[in-house]
Structure 1
Amino acid sequence: MSYDLVIKNGLVILEGGEVQTDVAVNDGLIAAIGTDLTGEKEIDATGLVVSPGMVDAHVHITDPGGGYRDEWEGYVTGTAACAKGGVTSFMEMPLNQVPATVDAKSLNIKYQAGEGKLKADVGSFGGLVPFNLEGGIQELNEGGVAAYKCFMGTCGDRTIDGDFMNVDDYALYEGMKQIAKTGKVLAIHAENAPITDKLGEIAYKNGETTLKAYVATRPVFTEVEPIRRAILLAKETGCRIHICHIACPEGVEEVTKARNEGVDVTCETCTHYLYFETDELDAIGPVVKCSPPIRDKKAQDGLWEKVLREEIAFVTSDHSPCTPDLKEKDNAFEAWGGISGVQNNVDVLFDEGVQKRGMSLDLFARLIATNPADRYELTQKGRISVGKDADFVLIKPNAPYMLKAEDLAYRNQISPYIGREIGAQVVQTILRGTTVYSQDEGVSEEFVGTFIKK
């Protein structure tokens, strides 16, 4: 039998381990896995690792910008960067687009903004905010969001009509009760806003300007305390929860403890927390500022231990770009807090995890693809298995290169990874059987991505 496409001779990451084999595709789906398969098109993957395409469960696209953020990351450039980085699908956050995605009207505006502009498949978060507790959560569920997201840390610009807003404890409690009825997961940015805001205000008034001082205003306990609070409310309401971008092992320990007690809770960390550490931040500059902050080497080592022990469900980019002027600040406290990283998840994590720390390929695939797909019930995604979407990233191991600004597909070519040597390369990205990126041809001009509606 001949197939539409066969990827031949690659080291294919299947559930349970890697196998030297062929993978065949028909009509955008994985049709067969075996040897000596033939297809109308064939890709020779000799010497390459064939992984499920990354499901990046934490990505911010600012489309539409609402007249306020029009020059931030749009769907065209954001999904091109996904293609170039091996990300075949992602979960899109309900901010920083304007209006924020908090009800049926704003969800439809977002869908319209992305129509015909996607080079990756997109699942959507709906927002939980204090002002959508009277019908907004239900409208989002009916509109097809895969999950919900809220901020316990301060967020949003109150001068912008329709911008996102963090929850207070009542909104979190009431929102959890409503979301529990949908059966979907609430993802949570867990930081203690009153404490971090006040510590930041004091440091700024005292003339502090450095990133190291910024990190000091967001100590570990300001992550751990709201994680505990969120878990307590999850127990009370029966809401399934997920803690976003944990930057300290102590936070992971709270999640593990709760899960062992029967709470339906998972967590993620980000590639940048596993790569950078506090003492190098000021040499890099505000391009590496984020929240929660990048902590010290001890915290980084602790996170790697949690990753390798499988206490962290998946690794994400928390791709949160902005325009260069918002990063080019002499005072770190005045700079935008967010990192552009969606293009360098797969290569950096493969290098740092598999090549430098001996992570198994099976765990690598679960961290970038299987686990996030399962958590958010993206049922066609996340694994190389017959009947699933034919989403692949082909990785060349032991192939160091230095990232340059011109390599980035982002609208604004800024990233803390620029100038770093990365020890593996994304050679080709395939979405539902269609090549959306190859090193030979670059990013495809086709927009074959679609919104995944649940």
Structure 2
Amino acid sequence: MPEPTTGAFDVVFRARRLIGPNGETSGSVGVHDGRIAAVEPLDAELDAAHTIELAEDEVLLPGLVDSHVHVNDPGRTEWEGFDTATRAAAAGGVTTILDMPLNSLPPTIDTGALEVKRKTAREKAHVDVGFWGGAVHGNLAELRGLHEAGVFGFKCFLLHSGVDEFPPLNPTELDEALRELARYDALMIVHAEDSDAIEHAPTAHGETYGDFLNSRPRGAENVAIAQVIELARRIGARVHILHLSSSDALPMIASARADGVRVTVETCPHYLSFSAEEVPDGATQFKCCPPIREARNRELLWQGLADGIIDCVVSDHSPCTPELKRFDIGDFGVAWGGVSSLQLGLSAVWTQARVRGHGLADVVQWMSRKPADLAGLQRKGSIAVGNDADFCVFAPDDAFVVDVNKLHHRNPVSPYHGRPLAGVVRETWLRGKQIVGPGVETTAPQGNLLTRQGG
């Protein structure tokens, strides 16, 4: 870690409330050359070119890490794009995103496609951006090359992904891919719904949300997660369960971990915020796969977080154009499935967490520290000496009502529209530079492209 020259820091933050690695405290944070160079008591004498005094109602958080974002760029930039996605991330206190390998064209399933993705993102990223690779039917030979090129791991589906250019793995192919990745200890992240169970479920159709919910039963998740766990147990592979919506799976995940299986799991703000009972007819902005389930299921997911079974809360930001949501007919069977929420995750989770007795330190653990750990981002996720100076200045007792027309997402579609949320992001800092906040004009993109090796 470089030392500040002549004892001066570039900027010092003084915060009466600060979420550090050991919970909430107060302190002064000195920044030099984009890194955290000192974390000292609030009254410490730190010489700096600039001093930022947080207001009494503000808390200094580490920048959030969202490891599950569909940017859809290049190829489907009318759905989102790196410029709009990373602006939205920054406005929501997210300073690092990991981009999913599908919905862009080409999908990130070989090194050529990865380079296209990086070239597209390079001049547009307002926050730091890393990339997942894809494990699909027919690309087993491409996995090592993608790993060596620095992707953070590999995403696979066990059923149709929603786009034909990203085909799923069948059970034999999943076994082969996990064996390949285990050779170099790469991480497989899995959309875990069983194709056979979905095929035998009722067909999704019409405006009634309950009919759509029946088409994606909990059992489809449970069977797929059990399959992934058993393969990971047998092979010794590292696996991560994406966007858990079925609370039924929590006991088997806990049991597997007790047995030494290397399995982690995430859920998403929409599974923690909404319930099936409150989704209106035709409100396809709520459609996602796996689906938002019943209120009782939601409370069990919260218990899974409290118990430490669920590791992370990440957005699964999966936007599309308004036309693809089919608001004209409100048919859950034909509308695109995905929730748009990248800018809103922190406030959405805090709104629900605070009424269940959780503190900001818990939210930071779920939305910053643990996603950084999952991806191996050693300089992200906490306010600690040596880490990147990525910060979110958050006012937890402030509030706002979501207006999709004021979000930075490319398209004004979100189930959070009109919903009151607690907590306002007032400033965001990336490697010691303010990128969101009062007086900050539209800035040139400041984000770096990240690799697993740290570049």
1:252 aligned residue:
250
1:199 aligned residue:
201
Shift of 1:433: 0.7
Shift of 1:441: 3.6
Partner secondary structure for residue 280 of structure 2: helix
| Contact preservation (8 Å) 2:135, 2:177 | yes
1:122 maps to 2:148: no
2:186 aligned residue:
184
Which amino acid counterpart does residue 72 of structure 1 have in structure 2?
W
Shift of 1:401: 1.0
1:236 maps to 2:229: no
Question: Which whole-Å CA distance do the structure 2 matches of 1:9 and 1:169 have between them?
Answer: 52
Q: 1:219 to 1:442 in 2, by over 3 A?
A: farther
Question: Which whole-Å CA distance do the structure 2 matches of 1:220 and 1:199 have between them?
Answer: 11
1:278 aligned residue:
276
2:399 aligned residue:
400
Task: Give the alignment partner of residue 73 of structure 1, picking from 55, 68, 80.
Answer: 80
Provide, for residues 132-155 of structure 1, a one-character-per-residue CA deviation record: whole Å limited to 9, x for no partner: 01x210110111101111111321
Shift of 1:26: 0.5
1:366-405 alignment, distance < 5 Å: 366-405=365-404
Q: 1:400 to 1:313 in 2, by over 3 A?
A: same
Provide, for residues 377-435 of structure 1, a one-character-per-residue CA deviation record: whole Å limited to 9, x for no partner: 01111111000001111110111111112221011121111101011101111111111
| Contact preservation (8 Å) 2:31, 2:38 | yes
Question: Which whole-Å CA distance do the structure 1 matches of 2:363 and 2:172 have between them?
Answer: 38
Provide, for residues 60-84 of structure 1, a one-character-per-residue CA deviation record: whole Å limited to 9, x for no partner: 111101xxx2311100000000000
Question: Which whole-Å CA distance do the structure 2 matches of 1:278 and 1:125 have between them?
Answer: 31
| Contact preservation (8 Å) 1:128, 1:175 | yes
Partner secondary structure for residue 79 of structure 1: helix
Question: Which whole-Å CA distance do the structure 2 matches of 1:334 and 1:357 have between them?
Answer: 36
1:213-232 alignment, distance < 5 Å: 213-232=211-230
1:12 maps to 2:18: yes
Which one is further off, 179-188 or 333-342?
Answer: 179-188
Provide, for residues 168-196 of structure 1, a one-character-per-residue CA deviation record: whole Å limited to 9, x for no partner: 11111100011111212111010011221
2:149 aligned residue:
143
Which one is further off, 268-277 or 233-242?
Answer: 233-242
1:426 aligned residue:
425
1:333 maps to 2:342: no
1:342 aligned residue:
342
Task: Give the alignment partner of residue 41 of structure 1, picking from 39, 50, 53.
Answer: 50
Q: 1:371 to 1:334 in 2, by over 3 A?
A: same
1:64 maps to 2:74: yes
TM-score for the superposition, normalised by structure 1: 0.94
Question: Which whole-Å CA distance do the structure 2 matches of 1:442 and 1:279 have between them?
Answer: 42
Question: Which whole-Å CA distance do the structure 2 matches of 1:95 and 1:174 have between them?
Answer: 21
Query: Structure 2: where are the runs of 5+ without partners?
Result: 1-6
1:88 maps to 2:101: no
Provide, for residues 213-264 of structure 1, a one-character-per-residue CA deviation record: whole Å limited to 9, x for no partner: 1011111111100000001111122110000010121122221110111000
1:288 aligned residue:
286
Partner secondary structure for residue 397 of structure 1: strand
CA root-mean-square deviation? 1.4
Shift of 1:374: 1.0
Shift of 1:284: 7.3
Partner secondary structure for residue 380 of structure 1: coil
Which amino acid counterpart does residue 118 of structure 1 have in structure 2?
A
Question: Which whole-Å CA distance do the structure 2 matches of 1:46 and 1:213 have between them?
Answer: 49
2:3 aligned residue:
none
Question: Which whole-Å CA distance do the structure 1 matches of 2:13 and 2:270 have between them?
Answer: 31
Shift of 1:212: 1.8
Q: 1:125 to 1:396 in 2, by over 3 A?
A: same
State the identity as a percent.
Answer: 35
| Contact preservation (8 Å) 1:436, 1:446 | no
Shift of 1:200: 4.6
Query: Structure 1: where are the runs of 5+ without partners?
Result: none
2:112 aligned residue:
105
Which one is further off, 9-18 or 443-452?
Answer: 443-452
Shift of 1:444: 3.9
Question: Which whole-Å CA distance do the structure 2 matches of 1:317 and 1:369 have between them?
Answer: 12
Q: 1:40 to 1:46 in 2, by over 3 A?
A: same
TM-score for the superposition, normalised by structure 2: 0.94
1:312 aligned residue:
310
Partner secondary structure for residue 394 of structure 1: strand
| Contact preservation (8 Å) 1:78, 1:409 | yes
Shift of 1:343: 0.5
| Contact preservation (8 Å) 1:177, 1:239 | yes
Shift of 1:199: 2.4
Shift of 1:357: 1.6
Question: Which whole-Å CA distance do the structure 1 matches of 2:69 and 2:410 have between them?
Answer: 15
Shift of 1:310: 1.4
Question: Which whole-Å CA distance do the structure 2 matches of 1:151 and 1:443 have between them?
Answer: 41
Question: Which whole-Å CA distance do the structure 1 matches of 2:258 and 2:359 have between them?
Answer: 24
2:8 aligned residue:
2
1:173 aligned residue:
175
Partner secondary structure for residue 399 of structure 1: strand
Question: Which whole-Å CA distance do the structure 2 matches of 1:138 and 1:246 have between them?
Answer: 28
Question: Which whole-Å CA distance do the structure 2 matches of 1:220 and 1:13 have between them?
Answer: 36
